[in-house]
Amino acid sequence: MTLLLSRNDVARLLTMKDAIEAVEQAFRQLARGNVTMPQRTVIRVPAHGGTHLGMPAYIGGEMDALALKVVTVYAQNPARYQLPTTIGLLVLSDPRTGAPLAVMDASYLTAMRTGAVSGVATKHLARPDAKRVGIFGAGVQAQTQLSAMACVRALEGVWVYDSDGPKAKAYAEQMTKTLSIPVIAVATAREAVKGMDIIVAASSAAEPLFDGAWLEAGQHINGIGSHAPHTRELDTQTMVRSKVFVDSLDACLVEAGDLLIPMKEGAIGKDHIRAGLGEVVAGMKPGREAANEITVFKSVGLALQDASTAHMVYQAALKQKAGVEFAF
């Protein structure tokens, strides 16, 4: 029998703390060579302004998880059809037999695992005393990003900037209630950078969100919103001034405009990337080495994040007898 898990099931079963733990384990296995993860397939649908992605991964070692996620990204969905921008479905298979263990909604899971990877990066790269967060973007992803930051650092205040002012204010009100942390909507991008310990870029912007010259010693930046070679949230100056870490070197050299554009300009080379996140998690390479360093974590999103998080959801579903069993 296969277990069918709805969005509500996944949301009830998966906490951010659990998602961070699962993703951290997956990156450790990646560094140890226990992950098989082909480059995701990308189908552009220009007639409708959408992108269709296929993301398979097998995580060996202690986790032993096999999954395929199909996810679509349609930026105009909320305005045109009252649908989410990102819609996903995941099939979790038994690595021993290939039989389907579960089919689950992956929209909520995608938002959670993307927040979780920034949580892992912040845990290992931000200063231990980091407590002020500036966040760009006020959508669903900005919610899970902030939830992850709150799991790994004792936050005292958050400043959010979005080009849609009312949306930023609504986000600030919601997240203040959700996390019991003061969240303030600000009117300018500069206000979300100045004095911050952690900066999160979680937008749909195609051009840089702020001037890298504004960055201050000791800051950590998570860049997670862009995943196409011609778009970026972080400018060349930001990359030049920072120690750069990535989720996957191979994936970022194909998809991360934040890195590819400065490389094309000749401002940085491939060797400017210090390490993959898994190498830092596994203790194979150093992360932050001094309090005054500026660090950047660039993520384009990996299938191992989905497989590990889905595996944790499935285990929780079995324990709590959640979902509906069915046979194909």
Q: Which one, of 158, 204, 159, 203, lies nearest residue 179 by Cα?
A: 158
DSSP class per residue in 135-151: EE--SHHHHHHHHHHHH
Angstrom CA distances, 81 to 78, 171, 221, stand at: 6, 22, 33
What lies within 8 Å, CB to CB, of 128 at 6+ separation is none
Mean pLDDT of 299-309: 97
Same domain, 38 and 106: yes
Same domain, 313 and 294: no
Same domain, 287 and 139: yes
Same domain, 96 and 187: no
Mean pLDDT of 147-171: 97
Same domain, 146 and 194: yes
What lies within 8 Å, CB to CB, of 31 at 6+ separation is 276, 278, 279, 281, 282, 284
- Interval 187-236: pLDDT, tens: 999 999 999 999 999 998 999 999 999 999 999 999 999 888 999 999 99
Q: What is the CATH classification number for the domain harbouring 35?
A: 3.30.1780.10
Same domain, 184 and 229: yes
Positions annotated as catalytic residues are 69
DSSP class per residue in 185-205: E-SSTGGGTTT-SEEEE-S--
Same domain, 245 and 129: yes
Owning domain of residue 88: 2-110+304-326
Conformation bin of residue 144: beta by default, left when phi > 0, alpha when psi is -120 to 50: alpha
Same domain, 54 and 131: no
Same domain, 236 and 310: no
pLDDT at 305: 98
**Rounded Cα distance, 316 and 210, in Å:** 41
Same domain, 158 and 217: yes
- Interval 13-37: pLDDT, tens: 999 999 999 999 999 999 999 999 9
Q: What is the CATH classification number for the domain harbouring 142?
A: 3.40.50.720
Q: Which one, of 275, 155, 296, lies nearest residue 215 by Cα?
A: 296
Chain length of the chain: 328
Same domain, 66 and 101: yes
Total number of domains in the chain: 2
pLDDT at 230: 94
Same domain, 245 and 193: yes
- Interval 33-74: pLDDT, tens: 999 999 999 999 999 999 999 999 999 999 999 999 999 999
Q: Which one, of 106, 307, 99, 134, lies nearest residue 219 by Cα?
A: 134
